[in-house]
Every structure is written in C-alpha cells, then in structure tokens.
Amino acid sequence: YTGAITIPVVINIIESSPGKVTDAQINSQIAILNEDFNNNNSRTSSIPSEFAVAVADIDITFTRGAVIRKTSSVSSWGTNDAMKFASQGGIDATDTANNLNIWVCEIGGGILGYAQFPGGASATDGVVIGTDFFGETNAGGIYGHGRTATHEVGHWLNLRHIWGDGRCNRDDFVADTPTSDAPNYNCPSYPTVNCRSTDMTMNYMDYVQDDCMYMFTNGQNDRMRALFVSGGPREGFVN
C-alpha cells in the first residue's frame, strides 16, 4: 500500500494520581512518532553513508485521539495485558481496527514497553509503554526521549528486532537490515561489526538508547505497509 496513512492514537493512561502523565508528555510522544515515521528525526544526519541508501520515510501520520485516564495504585502491571481490561483494573481498548491504542502505566521489572504483533486478538491490540518512558521525560534517563513507542509501534506494524532474536543465523525477514548477533545497548560506536557485517545499531528496532536510534529501512517500510492493503490486518486505517 503506497497511499497516505493516518493513525489516530487513543491514549489509555493508568496513573497513581490524576494528571501525573501530563498533556505535554502526551503531545511530545505524538510529535516523536511523527518525526520518526516521517524520517524527520533530528539525528538523521548521523546515518553512516553505508546505510544512507536504505533509509525510508514511512510516511505515516499519527494524530492525538481520545485520552482516557484512570487512577490506580498498581505499581507493577507486568506484561500479562491486565492493563487492557477494565475488569482487571485497567482500561478496555477502543476500536482497535481504527485506532492505535497505547496504554501508559507502571509496567515494572525494568520493562520499557511491549507490543502485540498484527493479527492477534483485538481486545489486546496495541502497545504498552512504561510511564517514565512515554514521551519526553527526565525520569526515563537515556530512555526518556520517546523512542520506546517508536520501537513498539514498529512491532505493532510487524517489525522484528534487527538481530532476528537469534544470533547470526536468524532473520528479521528484512533484506536491507544487516544480519546481527544480538541486541546492541547504549550508544555503540560506528562501525560495530558482527556476523561479518556492520550492525545497523541506529535502527529503531535495535536496543540502543533513545538518542542513538534514528532510522527505519526500505525493507522495513515494505513490511509495515503490506499490512494496510485491502484484506490486510491494518486495512481499517486507510478506509
């Protein structure tokens, strides 16, 4: 699918006190998603020439939709999707065929965020982001610049980690991301070579710190956009 794609974002906030997740935090996250999915990250100029040919403008626009808030004293939701159900103290998903649902809550366990791949149950469709890692925050430290959502929305749009979750012999099903051995962290120096090729450590689907990830590739663009064709799992966003 090559046409315009607009994704309304429903933000489900489960917070310890009303308004703890600020409006500015919400707006910064929407702005960051728009930067990253339109190749407007301010660090694109740092992309090495070896990878410049692969850089993609995904051309997806995210718009701020409903913000739904709930106060809760739960400080460690974990990753079992409880935050997605009112019956379990969370907030039910809103029309997942036509909205990206983001749940913002205290996940705990040092987990920044997690996502559901396309094709799963609609009641749990969307991404979960830890409160400190949602938008621009001081509390998030090196993960306080909103790139957890970019990474998780990548998964929600069917992207795998660039190392394929399995050493040099596993694939992410994307031809123009070089084979890699394992996640990279912090801010690796260039070139970082593994599996006889230079790792694309600056890809949003690696595990580096927020300031050191700033590109998607053409192959990743194809994989994401394939979901929006008629009959595809994300077709609702282009009707």
- Residue 199 engages Ca ion in binding (rule: CB under 5 A): no
Q: Which residue is nearest to ligand ARG (CB)?
A: 148
Residue from 7, 174, 202, 213 in contact with Ca ion (CB under 5 A): 174
Query: What is the closest distance, in whole angstroms, from the C-beta atom of residue 197 to Ca ion in the complex?
Result: 9
Contact range with Ca ion by CB under 5 A, out of 129-137, 141-149, 177-185, 209-217: 177-185
**172 contacts which partner out of ligand ARG, Ca ion, none, CB within 5 to 8 A by kind?**
Ca ion
For 166, what's the count of Cα atoms within 13 Å in the CB-facing half-sphere? 7
Q: Which is nearer to ligand ARG, 151 or 234 (CB)?
A: 151
Give the burial class of 211: count Cβ atoms within 10 A of its Cβ; 0-12 exposed, 13-18 middle, 19 or more buried: middle
Binding mask 203-222 for ligand ARG (x = CB under 6 A): ----xxxx--x---------
Cα distances (Å, whole numbers) of residue 68 to 64, 90, 93, 94, 227: 12, 11, 10, 10, 27
Query: What is the closest distance, in whole angstroms, from the C-beta atom of residue 126 to ligand ARG in the complex?
Result: 13
Cα distances (Å, whole numbers) of residue 72 to 69, 120, 148: 10, 27, 23
Binding residues for ligand ARG restricted to 120-179, rule: CB under 6 A: 143, 147-148, 151-152
Binding residues for ligand ARG restricted to 92-131, rule: CB under 6 A: 112-114
Give the burial class of 168: count Cβ atoms within 10 A of its Cβ; 0-12 exposed, 13-18 middle, 19 or more buried: middle
**199 contacts which partner out of ligand ARG, Ca ion, none, CB within 5 to 8 A by kind?**
none
CA dihedral 30, 129, 216, 49 (to 10 degrees): 100
Query: What is the closest distance, in whole angstroms, from the C-beta atom of residue 117 to ligand ARG in the complex?
Result: 11
- Measured in whole angstroms, how far is the alpha carbon of residue 150 from the centre of its chain? 3
Question: Annotated catalytic residue: which of 106, 136, 152, 235?
Answer: 152
Q: Is 50 considered catalytic here?
A: no
**177 contacts which partner out of Ca ion, ligand ARG, none, CB within 5 to 8 A by kind?**
Ca ion
Q: Which is nearer to ligand ARG, 87 or 138 (CB)?
A: 138
Cα distances (Å, whole numbers) of residue 55 to 88, 156, 195, 232: 42, 20, 21, 25
Question: What is the strand order of the sheet 113-115 is part of?
Answer: 60-71, 5-15, 100-105, 127-130, 113-115
Q: Which is nearer to ligand ARG, 151 or 225 (CB)?
A: 151
Footprint on this chain of ligand ARG (rule: CB under 6 A): 112-114, 143, 147-148, 151-152, 207-210, 213
